């Protein structure tokens, strides 16, 4: 069973968002890191890069292949977790403690389109049920 933190927002593509004022701290979920397997590389975006909701934010490579991470909200990159360049496996160790980027949000109303913890947990449960069948 994947770990879900109730105080975060989520996407159906398994990114999490922690809202910090007008900023969004973004990472991949516990479900995502389990599905990817051992993470071996994270291609971080440049600070100052702008993204719109749903666009490719970065790439996380695992032993199973490359996985796109999508921007859950629109905004400009104000911080990247450069520690992931040398230690990408941190995402496997704790997907919620190890964020990928921080965006300065350009439209906070986009947060309304994200899933809350309960809805994301239901999504994961339904996916796990399908996989186990």
- pLDDT tens readout for residues 14-72: 999 999 999 999 999 999 999 999 999 999 999 999 999 999 999 999 999 999 999 99
133 has a pLDDT exceeding 60: no
pTM of the model: 0.95
Question: Is the separation of the CB atoms in 115 and 123 below 8 Å?
Answer: yes
Structure tokens that stand for 60 in this block: 């996380």
Domains of the chain and any CATH numbers: 9-132 (2.40.50.100)
Residues 6+ apart with CB under 8 A from 131: none
Task: Give CA separation, 109 vs 15, 43, 56, 73, 74, in Å.
Answer: 17, 28, 20, 9, 10
Residues in the chain: 133
């Amino acid at each position: 069973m994947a770990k879900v933190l109730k105080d975060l927002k989520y996407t159906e593509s398994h990114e999490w968002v922690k809202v910090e004022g007008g900023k969004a701290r973004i990472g991949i979920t516990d479900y995502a890191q389990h599905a990817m397997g051992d993470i071996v590389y994270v291609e971080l975006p440049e600070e100052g890069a702008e993204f719109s909701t749903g666009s490719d934010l970065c790439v996380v490579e695992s032993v199973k292949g490359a996985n796109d991470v999508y921007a859950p909200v629109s905004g400009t990159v104000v911080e990247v977790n450069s520690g992931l360049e040398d230690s990408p496996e941190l995402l496997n160790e704790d997907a919620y403690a190890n964020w990928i980027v921080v965006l300065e949000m350009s439209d906070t109303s986009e947060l309304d389109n994200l899933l809350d913890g309960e809805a994301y947990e239901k999504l994961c449960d339904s996916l796990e049920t399908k996989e186990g069948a």
